[in-house]
Amino acid sequence: MLTNISIKNYALIDHLNVAFTNGFTVITGETGAGKSILLGGLSLVLGKRADLSSLRDKTVKCIIEAEFLVDKYNLKRFFEKNDLDYEDTTIIRREIQPSGKSRAFINDSPVTLDILSKLGDRLIDVHSQHQTLQLTDNDFQLKVVDALADNSAKLQKYRDALKLYQSLTKELQELIEFRDNASKEQDYNSFLLKELESAPLKEGILEELEEQYEQLNNVESIMEQLAAGNQVLNDEQVGVVEALSQLKQITSKLSGYGTQYTSLNERVQSVFIELDDISSELENYIENTEVNPKLLEEVNGKLQLLYDLQKKHSVLTISELITVREGLSEKVSTTENIEGAIKEKEERLLNGREILEKFALDIRKRREKVIPSLKKQLESALIPLGMPSASFKIEIKPAKDYKVTGKDNLIFLFSANKGGNYGELKKVASGGELSRIMLVIKAILAKYENLPTIMFDEIDSGVSGEISSQMGVIMKNMSLDMQVFSITHLPQVASKGKQHYKVKKTEDNKGTTTSLYKLSDEERVIELAEMLGGKERSDSAMVHAKELLNGA
């Protein structure tokens, strides 16, 4: 419920601060007085984009603030989802800087226009003549039927199931596309994998093979050096081993003459043992080193294979080749198992479709059950609005596809005249008829849904007399369960208001200013009299005005 609105520096409004109560509030004023300005200001706090030209004083920022009582609207989840502080009394503020920059706040937390607009949709329904066209939209018509059928919880379950069904459908399609594309590459990927699996891929293998290749490729030189080394050690005349053997005998004799000679002998003995071991190892190398062209060719082949694979897969290391092999292995394995994955997804999709179909059928049955009641309520409510022969033909037909509204097409046809042909609302109903039908539908919805505040912007345009009075009665009755505003030019409607505000435009040396103020009982009589007979306010107009108020 809108409890207060404050507007500063907007269009013709210098500073306006008005408090509202529940029930039926009417707003009147002469044409051009600024009722549209009031709606424009309100639309800014509901998320409409700002326009710098709307600033009254281009050097001062525009501030519009609206206060709402939201405790009955179940909005705590919305506030939590958008990381906002929830307050039963919520304040929305919009600021437009002279630079053109705009900011929006909910309970002092900055928000985007998208969030502001979503919250605004839940707080106020500003109903203009343009929005009457919404009545011809099939989704809106289904919303009316669903309100009577109490389908809200059912539709939420259906939409959750639809979301899962659509997700599974997408996943299945992706699997099928992957299979179709992969099958073309499967043979090639298998060949590449087999090639890598046959290669000796392990960490350090390249360095190991390169060292082995160097030895095999230079085996003759190695053999020469080994032989030369062996000769140096073991020559009978000047061999190092023979010389060191003689030295060992000398130091052994010296070791009995003191500890220093003992230490020297031990060192020579140690060198002799090490050199003897080296000599044995050299002889072993000589014995086991031979020219082996076959092994050289084999090692060279492995090296060339690894080099070629690195080049083929555009990598520099064996580790990267191993990663490529693992990736190919996964691709080949996935492709080989894809049919099983597709079958499993198809089974899940079939199960999801059965659940979805069950929900859709349940929703359809509930819709069909309430259609006779909706038809009766609509036709009965339109009789006092000058449409005694109005008739509706409403049917539910199964649709081929699953939609967010269910799996139904709604046939919503109308005839204004007895015996007339039925047709779509947008084709056969006049603007005035659409306005009255929309008013009746909103009144019906108010019985079944916790609707937000509704503001009718001249919904009574084009009607007069008793019909306008009956429209006023409908809006007044709606206000028993919700807050209702009506901007009107008709005294019959204005007289039904619980409170009456007037938009007034004044001119002075500083310019033109629009203001909004609440009328007292006496001022209401005068306002209604002027609406009935003009500024002169004849005695008969005054009497009629009092009768309207007393009869309301």
Angstrom distances, CA of residue 92 to CA of 106, 237, 544: 5, 111, 41
Cα of 181 vs its chain's centroid, Å: 31
Confidence of residue 154 (pLDDT cuts 50, 70, 90): very high
In this predicted structure, the answer to whether residue 359 has a pLDDT above a threshold of 80 is: yes
Contact yes or no for 302/200 (Cβ under 8 A): yes
In this predicted structure, the answer to whether residue 402 has a pLDDT above a threshold of 90 is: yes
Q: Which of 89, 66, 68 is nearest to 6 (CA)?
A: 66
SS3 104: strand
Q: Which two tokens stand for residue 479?
A: 């206000």
Contact yes or no for 522/529 (Cβ under 8 A): no
Residue-level pLDDT at 114: 93
Q: For residue 396, how many C-alpha atoms fall within 13 Å in the half-sphere facing its CB?
A: 23
Residue-level pLDDT at 524: 94
The distance in angstroms from the start CA to the end CA of the chain is 23
Confidence of residue 32 (pLDDT cuts 50, 70, 90): low
Contact yes or no for 357/365 (Cβ under 8 A): no
Mean pLDDT for 405-434 is 90
Q: Which residues pair with 424 in a beta bridge?
A: 413
Percentage of residues in the chain with pLDDT exceeding 90?
Answer: 45
Residue-level pLDDT at 461: 79
Contact yes or no for 434/382 (Cβ under 8 A): no
Q: What is the Cα–Cα distance from 127 to 487, expressed in whole angstroms?
A: 10
Beta strands in 311-422 (DSSP E): 391-403, 406-415
Superfamily of domain 1-128+451-519: P-loop containing nucleotide triphosphate hydrolases (3.40.50.300)
47: phi > 0 → left, psi -120 to 50 → alpha, else beta; which? left
Orientation of helix 431-448 relative to helix 138-149, angle to 10°: 30
Lowest mean pLDDT among 153-157, 429-433, 489-493: 429-433
CA angle 413, 442, 473 (to 5 degrees): 115
Compute the mean pLDDT over every residue in the chain, rounded to the nearest whole number: 88
Residue-level length of the chain: 552
pLDDT of 331-357, one tens digit each?
777 666 778 888 999 999 999 999 999
Confidence of residue 186 (pLDDT cuts 50, 70, 90): low
Residue-level pLDDT at 465: 79
Lowest mean pLDDT among 128-132, 212-216, 419-423: 128-132
- Long-range contact list for 109-114, CB < 8 A, 24+ apart? 109/83, 109/84, 109/85, 111/82, 111/84, 113/47, 113/49, 114/47
Residue-level pLDDT at 459: 85
Confidence of residue 167 (pLDDT cuts 50, 70, 90): very high
Mean pLDDT for 442-468 is 86
Residue-level pLDDT at 401: 93
Q: Which two tokens stand for residue 446?
A: 């108010």
φ/ψ of residue 11, rounded to 5: 50, -120
pLDDT of 208-229, one tens digit each?
888 888 888 888 888 888 888 8
pLDDT of 256-315, one tens digit each?
888 888 888 889 888 888 888 888 888 888 877 788 888 888 888 888 888 888 888 888
CA angle 319, 320, 323 (to 5 degrees): 95
Contact yes or no for 499/21 (Cβ under 8 A): yes
pLDDT of 496-520, one tens digit each?
999 999 998 888 777 788 889 999 9
Q: Which two tokens stand for residue 7?
A: 């507007």
- Tell me the torsion sign for CA atoms 312, 315, 316, 317: negative
Lowest mean pLDDT among 19-33, 99-113, 128-142, 152-166: 128-142
SS3 27: strand
Max avg pLDDT among 245-259, 372-386, 536-550: 372-386
Q: What is the Cα–Cα distance from 49 to 130, expressed in whole angstroms?
A: 18
Q: Most distant CA pair in the chain: distance in Å?
A: 156
Mean pLDDT for 56-76 is 91
Q: Bigger pLDDT: 158 or 100?
A: 158
Residue-level pLDDT at 253: 80
pLDDT of 72-128, one tens digit each?
888 999 999 999 999 999 999 999 998 888 999 999 999 999 999 999 989 998 887
Confidence of residue 538 (pLDDT cuts 50, 70, 90): confident
Which residues of the chain form CATH 3.40.50.300? 1-128+451-519
With helix as H, strand as E and coil as C, how does 392-449 read?
EEEEEEEEEEEECCEEEEEEEEEECCCCCCCEEHHHHCCHHHHHHHHHHHHHHHHHHC
Q: Which two tokens stand for residue 513?
A: 């200013």
Q: How many distinct helices (H) and strands (E) make up the chain?
A: 17, 15
